[in-house]
């Protein structure tokens, strides 16, 4: 892959000019269906999570023309709460685990947390790559850990968070992407949202190219999840355009493309209202 930063920026600049998508309700609804609706706050408690789940349960009654979100993403101690209250079968339960967001603990603790999250109801588990070890070039240890966590996750889908905002260059993002996929990741994800910068267009461009190369070598489709700081419709559309351009339409579904966000859904709904001539701001979630 060409890691020339100027070339990457030029490609992204070109992709970001697709203004037609901004007024395309079908694409906006599609992006809504890619969202992992996320609540990962220190202040989260059971009542708050139940309220979020009930909003998802009632979403299509409130917005009958829109598809629901792809998943609800919470801390692992809330997996059981979501499982007990979620009534919408097409919405998955995702949890962060493996000592999120730093991935700094004993491997046995990480494996136990992942196993417990799945046992309590998680369909998907988002873990953080051992960034410190990766930056120290302990690649085999990082790969072995992901493989063991993949086993602990069982049938649940494993999303590996790279935390691209702390990486020194484009090559390291590419290397971390390939290492994660080769070690068993079902998705690769940009960031925890706890480090600045979080998701960036450059990182997703590199990660999607790594996914494309991995697919060409293995025939295995790996998903992509930008997450962290994605708030506006415009941001979401640029990520959509990158995935469409690099990977193609086969990835434009929530089996292989997710966006981790908490405020984006309301902004998409508000924009859909605007297209229909309604100026009311939506504050559903």
* CATH number, domain containing residue 137: 3.20.20.70
- Report the Cα 266 to chain-centroid distance in Å: 17
pLDDT in tens, 58-115: 999 999 999 999 999 999 999 999 999 999 999 999 999 999 999 999 999 999 999 9
| Residue 278 lies inside a defined structural domain of this protein | no
Q: Based on the residue annotation, tell me whether 126 is a catalytic residue of this protein.
A: yes
Residue 240, exposed/middle/buried by CB under 10 A (0-12, 13-18, 19+)? buried
| Residue 208 lies inside a defined structural domain of this protein | yes
| Residue 184 lies inside a defined structural domain of this protein | yes
Say which of 120, 150, 189, 202 is annotated catalytic.
189
| Residue 283 lies inside a defined structural domain of this protein | no
| Residue 214 lies inside a defined structural domain of this protein | yes
Identify which of 2, 89, 93 has the alpha carbon closest to the alpha carbon of residue 39. Answer: 93
Q: Based on the residue annotation, tell me whether 225 is a catalytic residue of this protein.
A: yes
Per-residue b/e over 194-229, b at no fewer than 16 CB within 10 Å?
eeeebbbbbbbbbbbbbbbebbeeeeeebbbbbbbb
Identify the pLDDT of residue 19: 80
Examine the pLDDT at 53 and tell me if it is beyond 80.
yes
| Residue 277 lies inside a defined structural domain of this protein | no
Give the 3-state secondary structure of residue 38.
Answer: strand
CA distance 261 to 225: 10
Identify which of 154, 238, 171, 220 has the alpha carbon closest to the alpha carbon of residue 162. Answer: 171
How many domains does the structure of the chain reveal? 1
Say which of 126, 150, 186, 202 is annotated catalytic.
126
CB 258 within 8 A of CB 225: yes
- Report the Cα 247 to chain-centroid distance in Å: 16
Identify the pLDDT of residue 189: 98
CA distance 226 to 201: 9
Q: Which domain holds residue 90?
A: 5-272
Q: Is the CA virtual torsion 128, 133, 138, 140 positive or negative?
A: negative
Task: For the chain, give the mean pLDDT.
Answer: 97
| Residue 92 lies inside a defined structural domain of this protein | yes
Examine the pLDDT at 2 and tell me if it is beyond 80.
no
| Residue 26 lies inside a defined structural domain of this protein | yes
């Amino acid at each position: 892959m060409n890691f020339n930063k100027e070339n990457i920026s030029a490609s992204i600049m070109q992709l970001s000019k697709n203004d037609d998508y901004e007024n395309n309700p079908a694409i906006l609804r599609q992006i809504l269906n890619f969202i992992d609706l996320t609540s990962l706050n220190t202040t989260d408690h059971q009542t708050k999570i139940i309220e979020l789940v009930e909003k998802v349960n009632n979403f299509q009654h409130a917005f009958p023309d829109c598809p629901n979100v792809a998943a609800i993403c919470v801390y692992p101690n809330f997996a059981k709460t979501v499982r007990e209250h979620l009534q919408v079968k097409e919405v998955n339960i995702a949890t962060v685990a493996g000592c999120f967001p730093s991935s700094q603990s004993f491997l046995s603790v990480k494996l136990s947390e992942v196993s417990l999250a799945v046992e309590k109801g998680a369909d998907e588990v988002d873990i953080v790559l051992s960034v410190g070890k990766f930056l120290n070039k302990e690649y085999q240890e990082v790969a072995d850990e992901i493989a063991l966590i993949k086993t602990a996750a069982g049938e649940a889908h494993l999303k590996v968070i790279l935390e691209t905002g702390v990486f020194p260059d484009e090559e390291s993002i590419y290397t971390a992407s390939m290492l994660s996929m080769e070690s068993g990741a079902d998705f690769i994800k940009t960031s925890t949202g706890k480090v600045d910068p979080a998701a960036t267009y450059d990182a997703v461009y590199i990660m999607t190219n790594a996914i494309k190369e991995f697919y060409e070598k293995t025939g295995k489709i790996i998903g992509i999840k930008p997450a962290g700081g994605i708030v506006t419709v415009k941001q979401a559309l640029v990520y959509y355009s990158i995935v469409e351009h690099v990977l193609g339409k086969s990835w434009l579904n929530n089996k292989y493309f997710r966006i981790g966000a908490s405020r984006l859904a309301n902004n998409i709904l508000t924009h859909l209202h605007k297209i229909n001539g309604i100026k009311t701001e939506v504050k559903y979630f």
